[in-house]
Amino acid sequence: MSAARPPWKTKKWTAYLIAEATWKVVLFYLIFRLMDVVEASMDGDKVADPKILLSALTVMLAMVIVAGFMEAVAIGGQAVLDKYVRVAQITTGAGAGDEEPPADGDVA
């Protein structure tokens, strides 16, 4: 990726955005379906099966936990990749004059 290309125009960014939007849409759908089931059981129309409610809540909790880990891995992985790319640029001389080297204690 060249320095002039913004990160939101990359394939990685697009894939990450699609994944984020997808799990949030699915979670939104599950919450509203669950609300319909709970409201129907409160009105006395039908009794909500506790197993279905527990299953839906478990799926939603799992989605939130997995999405959180995926976000952390994606952000952390990108930071590590950027670090190694910068070290490779400095080592080969490709990026030697682009920036000042980081001061002691700074993480590149």
Q: What is the pLDDT of residues 10-45, one digit of tens each?
A: 777 787 788 888 888 888 888 888 887 777 777 776
- What gap in Å lies between CA 90 and CA 69, rounded to an integer? 32
Residue 48 within a domain: yes
pLDDT of 61 strictly over 60:
yes
72 vs 105, more confident: 72
Residue 53 within a domain: yes
**How many domains does the structure of the chain reveal?**
1
| Longest pairwise C-alpha distance within the chain | 73
**Residue 100: Cβ within 10 Å count:** 6
Q: What is the pLDDT of residue 2?
A: 52
Residue 39 within a domain: yes
91 vs 11, more confident: 91
Structure tokens given for 89: 């640029």
pLDDT of 58 strictly over 60:
yes
Residue 46 within a domain: yes
Q: Classify residue 101 by its DSSP letter.
A: P
Domain that holds residue 60: 10-68
Structure tokens given for 23: 């799990």
Residue 106 within a domain: no
- Mean pLDDT, the chain, as a whole number? 76
Is 36 in a helix, a strand, or coil? helix
